[in-house]
């Protein structure tokens, strides 16, 4: 629940552009890494003070400044001042309750993304907000905690694998976007396994807990959807290439990411349909079971109630009851009861209740 609404109250009434971190602090400490490269050179540094990354500002090489942990407002303020970011951008980076969006400030593009991952303890989906700034030869990325989403890209830059070292900052930004979208596929794989498991459970042994699990999955889909739909718009807007910061040659790669996003959405929608189908199956299997129970009750009751009535008749103490003194009365009653019982069973079978 919490995750849908973060306490914004602490910001209420403050002028726009006031920097307040909204959300939980997820990283112990803020750590800043700078990677600077072109086809020939490569430099990677973990820096201590924000000021150390100022010299990279005017270098012609591609500079990637990655900030893990965003709860220290001062760090952001310094970065914002140095690289000329709009106060509203800084505010949005700090407010981890953002919807994925893209804003083009002509000198730079600001992108907010969400990644989702299953928390190992609670088995719940946890969102993390990732903000990207793409300048002419600069990419800045802000994560809530040190994550491994961008590790393969770091590796690729270090090794000079693929075409990343030959390309400009926009390609790096694309690569970051791509790894975020690829991350969704991993989450969907996990969801897929859950769905598969649930489907089996539904057939073999449905319990009220199954229902709870179905509803949890349903909500997770809601959650995924809420993150991915705006992502599509974001990447679509980047791809349409209205910004001069994105070269045409990168457009084709963005189209590829765009296709992946569509596929993620498609899969989510399919899962949603499957899950709501599972709900239907669950409910009708429950009602089938109920019918079974009712049928057994009816058959037992319908057979024995009349028979018990007959037994009751001959348990009466009237002084004059001719049948009681008949020699074979008892056995005749048994016979009558048997016939009634058999007739009823035949009737039930004819009505297909047995």
Instruction: Considering the complex, state which of residue 27 and residue 211 has its C-beta at the smaller distance from a copy of itself.
Output: 211
Instruction: Considering the complex, state which of residue 41 and residue 318 has its C-beta at the smaller distance from a copy of itself.
Output: 318
Instruction: Considering the complex, state which of residue 30 and residue 307 has its C-beta at the smaller distance from a copy of itself.
Output: 307
Instruction: Considering the complex, state which of residue 56 and residue 165 has its C-beta at the smaller distance from a copy of itself.
Output: 165
**Sheet containing 42-47: which strands, arranged edge to edge?**
42-47, 31-37, 62-68, 138-143, 125-134, 109-118, 101-104
Helical (H) or strand (E) element with 17: none
Task: Please state the closest distance from residue 207 (CB atom) to a copy of itself, in A.
Answer: 10
Q: ∠ CA(132), CA(135), CA(139), 5° rounding?
A: 45
Q: ∠ CA(50), CA(54), CA(57), 5° rounding?
A: 140
> CA 66 → CA 53, 137, 143, 256, distances in Å?
11, 14, 8, 24
Contact 170, 163 (CB under 8 A): no
Task: Please state the closest distance from residue 55 (CB atom) to a copy of itself, in A.
Answer: 29
Instruction: Considering the complex, state which of residue 293 and residue 339 has its C-beta at the smaller distance from a copy of itself.
Output: 293
Task: Please state the closest distance from residue 288 (CB atom) to a copy of itself, in A.
Answer: 5
Give first-to-last CA distance, the chain, whole Å: 48
Query: Which is nearest to 111 in space by CA: 29, 154, 169, 166?
Result: 169
> CA 143 → CA 140, 150, 280, 329, distances in Å?
10, 10, 40, 92
Task: Please state the closest distance from residue 347 (CB atom) to a copy of itself, in A.
Answer: 9
Task: Please state the closest distance from residue 97 (CB atom) to a copy of itself, in A.
Answer: 8
Instruction: Considering the complex, state which of residue 59 and residue 339 has its C-beta at the smaller distance from a copy of itself.
Output: 339
Task: Please state the closest distance from residue 274 (CB atom) to a copy of itself, in A.
Answer: 7
Instruction: Considering the complex, state which of residue 41 and residue 352 has its C-beta at the smaller distance from a copy of itself.
Output: 352
Instruction: Considering the complex, state which of residue 18 and residue 43 has its C-beta at the smaller distance from a copy of itself.
Output: 18
Instruction: Considering the complex, state which of residue 50 and residue 169 has its C-beta at the smaller distance from a copy of itself.
Output: 169
- DSSP at 150: T
Contact 53, 140 (CB under 8 A): no
Query: Which is nearest to 102 in space by CA: 259, 258, 252?
Result: 258
Task: Please state the closest distance from residue 263 (CB atom) to a copy of itself, in A.
Answer: 5
Task: Please state the closest distance from residue 287 (CB atom) to a copy of itself, in A.
Answer: 7
Distance CA 150, CA 173 (A): 11
Query: Which is nearest to 4 in space by CA: 225, 188, 210?
Result: 225
Task: Please state the closest distance from residue 159 (CB atom) to a copy of itself, in A.
Answer: 10
Q: What is the separation of C-alpha 310 from the centre of its chain, rounded to a whole number of angstroms?
A: 64
Contacts 24+ apart (CB under 8 A), 350-353: 353/295, 353/298, 353/299
């Amino acid at each position: 629940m919490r995750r849908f609404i973060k306490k914004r109250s602490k910001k209420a009434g403050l002028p726009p552009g006031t920097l307040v971190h909204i959300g939980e602090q997820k990283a112990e400490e803020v750590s800043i890494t700078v990677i600077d490269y072109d086809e020939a050179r490569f430099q990677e540094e973990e820096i201590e003070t924000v000021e150390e990354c100022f010299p990279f500002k005017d270098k012609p090489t591609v500079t990637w400044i990655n900030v893990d942990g965003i709860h220290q407002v001062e760090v952001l303020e310094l970065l914002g001042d140095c690289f000329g970011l709009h106060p509203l951008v800084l505010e949005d980076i700090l407010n981890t309750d953002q919807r994925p969006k893209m804003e083009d400030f002509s000198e730079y593009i600001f992108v907010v993304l969400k990644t989702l991952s299953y928390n190992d303890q609670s088995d719940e989906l946890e969102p993390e907000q990732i903000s990207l700034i793409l300048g002419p030869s600069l990419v800045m990325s802000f994560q809530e905690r040190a994550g491994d989403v961008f590790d393969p890209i770091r590796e690729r830059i270090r090794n000079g694998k693929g075409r990343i070292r030959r390309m400009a900052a926009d390609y790096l930004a694309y690569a970051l976007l791509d790894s975020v979208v690829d991350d969704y596929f991993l989450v969907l794989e996990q969801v897929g396994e859950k769905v598969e498991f649930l489907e089996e459970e539904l057939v073999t042994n449905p319990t009220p807990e199954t229902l709870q699990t179905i509803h949890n999955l349903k909500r997770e889909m809601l959650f995924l959807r809420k993150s991915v739909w705006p992502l599509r718009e974001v990447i679509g807007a980047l791809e349409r290439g209205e910004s001069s910061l994105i070269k045409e040659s990168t457009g084709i790669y963005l189209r590829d990411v765009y296709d992946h996003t569509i596929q993620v959405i498609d899969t989510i929608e399919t899962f949603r349909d499957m899950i709501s189908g599972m709900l239907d199956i669950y409910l009708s299997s429950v009602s089938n079971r109920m019918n079974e129970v009712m049928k057994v009750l009816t058959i037992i009751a319908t057979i024995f109630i009349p028979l018990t009535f007959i037994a009751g008749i001959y348990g009466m103490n009237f002084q004059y009851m001719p049948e009681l003194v008949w020699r074979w009365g008892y056995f005749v009653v048994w016979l009558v009861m048997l016939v009634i019982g058999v007739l009823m069973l035949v009737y039930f079978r004819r009505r297909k209740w047995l």
